[in-house]
Amino acid sequence: MAKLTRLRGFQDQLGAEAEMLSLVEARAKEVARRYGLGEIRIPLMERIQLYERSTGETSDVVAKQMYIVKHAQESSAADTMVLRPEGTPGVVRAYIEAGLDRSDPEQRFFYCGPMLRYERPQKGRFRQFHQFGVEVFGRADPACDAELLVMIDDLRRELDLELDFEVNSLGCGECRLAFREALLAFGRAHLESLCADCHARLERNPLRIVDCKTDAALAEQAPKSIDYLCPDCRRHFDAVLDLLRYSGVAVTVNPRIVRGLDYYVRTTFEVSSRTLGAQNAIAAGGRYDGLVESLGGVPVPGIGFAIGLERLTMAMSPQDRHARAVAAAAGGHAKPPTARSDSRQAPFIDAAVLALGEEALPKAAALAREIRHSGLAVEFVSPARGLKAQLRRADRAGARFAVIIGEDELSRGVATLRDMTSGAQRDVQLEQAAQAVSAAAAES
């Protein structure tokens, strides 16, 4: 009898390797908790139309990489199902189906689980792989874009990794249209130099020229999206970069990051490791403000990212992977568990940070990060709102405390610490605000 072996492109994870993956997943979930994210679980199988309408028919994911599931009793095109190749479309579908786009648009989710794509197996690329992802709905402000990159940087620090952060902006629909026309003209002018794939998709999706690995040298000469940004999109992108610099996250602007999926607008980003060789991307994501509406919901902005967990573990040194896995298997921790990892219903928000005015924004963002580093769960409320609206959001999120920083507080070097239950508030020195929140949380 022939020996049964695993399918090509799939892998078994045994012992220390499985423990390491579980440890990294646990770390990611703990960071998500500190950012006030709630867990969402979505099906492994969806209708093919979900990805055709979101990811895009010209994307490699839809055109080449999906596993199609057929059943003898369900043979119509409408019944065609696929194993999920990515998480975002499924989360958006669930968000709309639950009616949240209409009843409670601002939502913060994380998910974790296997994805399946038919790709050529190689180091760092498997046909079944695990992703940890984050999706935030109802936030269009640049502070939210920057916050997600800061979150990835916090996970990087937790795992003691050296990673490279690259960002770009595709602009809004109008910017993207102008950029698309410029790329189309460029592609037609260099048609003989394009690879077969770019030939086939040039007219339908010329943005794919920019991120094509085969035509990488030619792509360096192609038009750049940041040269076609309208004033609003330019201000949005500059604000993202300023907040990242203030938060201590080193980023490089890379005009070639356009992402291979149709739904991205404005901020896009990739995070990579120099230790992984050709398949060095660890995390990627961006803003998709039109996706909810395109899938049948109301116009709600969105942004998210996904991390490849196998690649994240591969970025660690073999010695570090072994030490952490042994500690996890023995019931220990590579680092002490953070505060408040209790059995309260998630998401549980210890504090909401409120910024009033542009001058307060960097200080508030930095303070939110500092409080999270003490192990507390924090939501950095959208600064696009006024004080009353921000306080309503803090109350809706279940925050025990609100930390308010405005022009008046900045001029006095303080922050206002408000107890959301009693309404009592007091001034605390801005430099000691994080400690004051931690002490108040411990006393309550």
What number does CATH give the domain 351-443?
3.40.50.800
The domain segmentation of the chain, as residue ranges, is 15-171+230-328, 173-228, 351-443
pLDDT at 324 exceeding the cut of 70: no
Most confident listed range (67-71, 271-275, 302-306): 302-306
Q: Which pLDDT does position 105 carry in this prediction? A: 95
Task: Please name the residue that has the structure tokens 């709102």.
Answer: 385
The model's pLDDT over 151-197, given as tens digits with 9 standing for 90+, comes to 999 999 999 999 999 999 999 989 988 988 888 888 888 887 888 87
pLDDT at 330: 55
Fold topology of 15-171+230-328 = BirA Bifunctional Protein; domain 2 (3.30.930)
How confident is the model over 363-372, as a mean pLDDT?
95
If pLDDT is split at 50, 70 and 90, which confidence band does 411 have?
very high
Q: How far apart are CA 219 and CA 197, in angstroms?
A: 14
**pTM score, whole prediction:** 0.88
pLDDT digits (tens, 9 = 90+) for 89-135: 999 999 999 999 999 999 999 999 999 999 888 777 889 999 999 99
pLDDT band with cut points at 50, 70 and 90 for residue 343: very low
Find the range with the poorest average confidence among 59-63, 333-337, 407-411: 333-337
3-state secondary structure of 275: coil
Q: What is the pLDDT of residues 371-408, one digit of tens each?
A: 999 999 999 999 988 999 999 999 999 999 999 999 99
Q: Average pLDDT, whole number, for the chain?
A: 87
Fold match, 15-171+230-328 / 351-443: no
